């Protein structure tokens, strides 16, 4: 073989750097960041306060970095679990493409940047809520997952905080409207993640994660899905008397909620649990943006974004 040229070596180093950066980005689970951006922006839009473009940008960027920190540290802590699961074994850490110390320092570094940015660049309350989300996800929810199926309720807490971050970034206070947004995200996550647990339960069993279907059975998980989906209807409609949602939203929330609830009940009629649960999971991904879109379209009392 001819000896490698300087150009070849430079190209190889460049490819290695690109692969390294790509794996670092994978640790942050960017698809989850997209959902956080939407829900945080929703809170900013609906809050009854004028918000500058600079504050909007800082809130969205810093919140995204907090989520990236939480997901990176989650990957660090769960790397052995991920190695046993088909769905996750090709992630950078279980596949040994990255040294675990890279994930640890990346997660800590992102947290060290994002939390002060929210605290001092936006306001102290928003920074505190972001810190609660980060700590509860990394140090409470993540260690609970192999121990108890109740972890799903704890994990819904940090997942519901982003719209409240948007609200407090605009207003500087926790108000009933912001808590209503938080409640919708909290309750929505329960049937959403229970459906994932049903159709991926074999993989969770390999990883040693005690999800509800493994701990209590598919029937119990389906009944819990129905109960939490039913709870989502009044919780979503509560934004109307709170003055956050208007008439269009009331109609949309009622129709979407009843359709979603009806779909959840069909789980009792099917025998192919995994297939039904997968379909219900994707239905939940359609329900939420439609609900939030209707809410933002119908809102006339929120703040205005200014340059």
- What is the distance between the alpha carbons of residues 153 and 160, in angstroms, rounded to a whole number? 11
Same domain, yes or no: 270 and 161: no
Percent helix, strand and coil across the chain, each to the nearest 5: 80, 0, 20
**Does residue 4 form part of some domain?**
no
Same domain, yes or no: 123 and 217: no
Distance, CA of 38 to chain centre: 10
Range of the domain at 242: 176-302
Taking only the tens place, the pLDDT of each residue in 26-51 is 999 888 888 888 999 999 999 998 88
Same domain, yes or no: 220 and 114: no
Q: What is the mean pLDDT of the chain?
A: 91
Same domain, yes or no: 45 and 169: yes
Tokens matching residue 111: 């947290």
- Mean pLDDT for 262-279 is 91
Q: Which among 115, 147, 174 is the end of a domain?
A: 174
Same domain, yes or no: 142 and 223: no
- Mean pLDDT for 255-275 is 92
Same domain, yes or no: 219 and 100: no
pLDDT for 215: 93
Residue 302 has pLDDT above 80, yes or no: no
Number of separate domains in the chain: 2
- What is the distance between the alpha carbons of residues 197 and 212, in angstroms, rounded to a whole number? 7
- What is the distance between the alpha carbons of residues 303 and 171, in angstroms, rounded to a whole number? 9
Same domain, yes or no: 180 and 122: no
Same domain, yes or no: 189 and 114: no
Residue 9 has pLDDT above 50, yes or no: no
CATH of the domain at 141: 1.10.357.140
pLDDT for 50: 87
**Does residue 1 form part of some domain?**
no
Taking only the tens place, the pLDDT of each residue in 239-251 is 999 989 988 999 9
């Amino acid at each position: 073989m001819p000896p490698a040229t300087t150009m070849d070596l430079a190209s190889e180093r460049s490819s290695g750097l690109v692969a390294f950066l790509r794996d670092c980005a994978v640790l942050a689970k960017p698809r989850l960041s997209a959902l956080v951006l939407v829900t945080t922006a929703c809170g900013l839009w609906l809050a009854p306060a004028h918000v500058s473009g600079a504050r909007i940008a800082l809130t969205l960027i810093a919140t995204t970095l907090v989520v990236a920190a939480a997901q990176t540290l989650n990957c660090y802590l769960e790397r052995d679990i991920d190695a046993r699961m088909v769905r996750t074994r090709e992630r950078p850490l279980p596949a040994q493409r990255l040294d675990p110390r890279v994930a640890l320092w990346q997660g800590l570094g992102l947290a060290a940047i994002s939390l002060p940015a929210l605290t001092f660049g936006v306001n102290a309350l928003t920074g505190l809520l972001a810190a609660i989300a980060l700590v509860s996800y990394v140090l409470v929810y993540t260690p609970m997952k192999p121990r108890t199926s109740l972890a799903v309720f704890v994990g819904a807490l940090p997942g519901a905080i982003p719209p409240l971050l948007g609200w407090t970034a605009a207003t500087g206070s926790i108000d009933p409207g912001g808590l209503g947004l938080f409640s919708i995200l909290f309750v929505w996550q329960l049937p959403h993640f229970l459906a994932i647990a049903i159709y991926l339960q074999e993989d969770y069993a390999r990883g040693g994660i005690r999800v509800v279907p493994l701990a209590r059975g598919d029937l119990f998980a389906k009944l819990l899905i129905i109960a939490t989906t039913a709870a989502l209807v009044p919780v979503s409609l509560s934004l109307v008397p709170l003055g956050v949602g208007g008439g269009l939203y009331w109609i949309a929330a009622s129709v979407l909620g009843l359709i979603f609830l009806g779909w959840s009940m069909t789980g009792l009629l099917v025998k192919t649990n995994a297939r039904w649960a997968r379909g219900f999971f994707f239905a939940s991904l359609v329900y939420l943006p439609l609900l939030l879109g209707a809410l933002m379209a119908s809102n006339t009392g929120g703040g205005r974004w200014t340059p």
